[in-house]
Amino acid sequence: MSKETKANNSSRAMNNTYGASLEANTLAMLDSTGAKDNRDANEDRLQYLEAVRAASLVPETGIPPTNKMYQAMFRILRFGRRLELVAASFHLLTQLHQRYPWVYIPDGKHELEIVDEAWSPFNFGSDVDSGEKDISVRSLLFQELIQNMSKGVDESEESDLKILGNMFLFKYLVHVLKLDFIPRNQVFEETMNWSLLKESSLNLLLASRRVNFKLLMKDCLSTMCSPFDADGNSISLVELHKGMLSAMKELLVMIIELDASKKKADSEGITNRGDGVRTPALEIIVDELTYDEYLLSNFLKVFDDPKWKLEIVIQYLTKYIPKPSVRTRRSNTPQADDLKTLNGILKTFSNGTNAKNITKKIGPAVVQILIGHGFLAQLAISNTNEGDSMTEICNSVIAAFTNLRRVDQKIEIIPFGKEVLFTAEMVLKAKA
């Protein structure tokens, strides 16, 4: 689908008159029914959605919906009492955002185009409710939504429709955050213009004093790691639960990337005190995973962004590896730079005392889980490029396991550890 971008701005004046009459005509379909919840009212809502689709999406030069029209669609998504309505408004809204983005990078340019006064499901203007009629999502509501997700499907007492509706809503909100954040972050990396990210919906959402960031991260983790019984639930619920989990992953990755960009901006001195201080998400995650083997193995299984997964594993392991000492530089003490790569960390296991100490501190199973997931992430990253380092990593992985067995002959290699060895060996054979 083509984006209607700046080329169409010239016709915006014309669009405005069309937009106004379209708004009046389509919203009239909803007026007659008000807030009723009977079949007629629901059919009118479906008709409204169809009419917007026909006017804004189907024609090659469609008329973008007005903010009021967006608001009406979002109302259906939030409060629709039938799955049909919620699903239809979700699809329509996501398709509209794709066609009429409010933040985008015009083709061939390196700057950001931001549409003025574009509609957004979020409202960060003030933390005070401006009345019942306002259906925008505030920071607090977003946090509550995540808390609801973390309660899990099985314990929740809410109706199926409510659960499905919440999942659709969450998925949609994360989608909006992403459409807003990705282009901003991309241009930030090129131009180091911090204000772009400062004004991103994600940053505004997290900057709210109403949000308890640490709690939010904990809720995300517990949602991602809680068991889910696929066979006891309907097909729709299972599919949406999967979608919710991947939205949760996307949210985490965005937050981590925002933190990384903020750190960059801090080091350039372009942030100020108004930007606030927040514990980086990655640190909170590593802290939460420490000493909780169940959470650790489940989280790493679900969280499959290779770059940040590798970073989590590295940060976790470095906590237990003796820091390089400047004064007594012995040959087998790792250098600071080595500890930034998985390979460097794996090499420290060749030292018997190191291997023994780490295993003692975090347990043999956790060591295997960490090495394994680090290796898995490394495989995903290296897939496209360098081949030599791949063999090196595989050798290091096998050597680390061999050392673990050497220092503790009674160590039990868990099934996951066996899979690590199998894969490393077979990659070596294929590359030979």
Partner 1 sequence: MNMDGPLDFENEDPLVNPPPSAEKRKKVIELDDLVSDFYKEKSKLIDKRNRKRKASSKLYDSDDDDDKHGQQTLLSIVDNCRNQMNEICSEEDIQEWGLSMFGDQRAPTHSLLADLDNCYLLKEFMSSQLNSVVDLNPDNGTAFLEGLLVNGWLTKLILTCARVETIICKWSLDMLLYSPKEDLRSSACDFWCSILLSHNEVNGAPVEIQWLPNYQIIKEALESYGFRTNSSQNAELPEADSKSQGPPQNIRAWLKFVSACCQIRCKRSIFNASQLEQIAGILVWLLLDRGLQGLSLLLQECLISVTESFKDGEWVSSCKNIANSLASRVAQDMNCLRIVESVSGVDARSKRLRSTIANQMLVVLLDHKESDENLMSSLMSINLKEKSCNLFRTYMLLVLAENWLLSSKLVEEKPVLRDMWAVFLRNCFSQINSTDLRPFASKVRTKASYLLQGCRSD
Q: Give the residues lining the site for partner 1 (CB under 8 A).
A: 1, 18, 21, 25-26, 28-29, 38-40, 47, 50-51, 53-55, 57-59, 83-84, 87, 90-91, 95, 99, 164, 230-231, 234-240, 242, 301, 304, 376, 379-380, 383-384, 390, 398, 401, 405, 413, 415-416, 418-423, 425-427, 429-430
User: Do 235 and 163 touch, CB atoms closer than 8 A?
Assistant: no
CA 21, 27, 30 angle in degrees (round to 5)?
155
Least spacing, CB of residue 160 vs partner 1, in Å: 10
**Nearer CB in complex with partner 1: 121/372:** 372
Least spacing, CB of residue 101 vs partner 1, in Å: 15
Least spacing, CB of residue 338 vs partner 1, in Å: 24
Beta strands in 132-185 (DSSP E): none
Q: Which residue shows structure tokens 């999942």?
A: 167
Per DSSP, the residues of 329-392 read --TTSPPGGGGGSHHHHHHHTTSHHHHHHHHHHH-HHHHHHHHHHHHHHHHHHHTSS-SHHHHH
User: Do 179 and 103 touch, CB atoms closer than 8 A?
Assistant: yes
**Nearer CB in complex with partner 1: 320/401:** 401
Q: Number of C-alpha atoms within 13 angstroms, CB side, residue 261? A: 27
**Nearer CB in complex with partner 1: 265/397:** 397
Contacts of 26 (CB under 8 A, 6+ apart): 48, 51, 52, 55, 69
Q: Number of C-alpha atoms within 13 angstroms, CB side, residue 198? A: 14
Residues in the chain: 432
Contacts of 319 (CB under 8 A, 6+ apart): 286, 290
Give the amino acid at 186: Q
Least spacing, CB of residue 210 vs partner 1, in Å: 32
Helix (H) or strand (E) holding 114: strand 113-114
Least spacing, CB of residue 26 vs partner 1, in Å: 8
**Nearer CB in complex with partner 1: 111/425:** 425
**Nearer CB in complex with partner 1: 295/413:** 413
**Nearer CB in complex with partner 1: 59/274:** 59
Least spacing, CB of residue 195 vs partner 1, in Å: 34
Least spacing, CB of residue 79 vs partner 1, in Å: 18
295-328 burial code (b ≥16 CB/10 A, e <16): bbbbbbeebebbebbbbbbbbbbbebbeeeeeee
**Nearer CB in complex with partner 1: 300/339:** 300
Least spacing, CB of residue 335 vs partner 1, in Å: 29
Could you tell me which residues are beta bridge partners of residue 114? 103
**Nearer CB in complex with partner 1: 25/272:** 25
Least spacing, CB of residue 157 vs partner 1, in Å: 20
**Nearer CB in complex with partner 1: 97/262:** 97
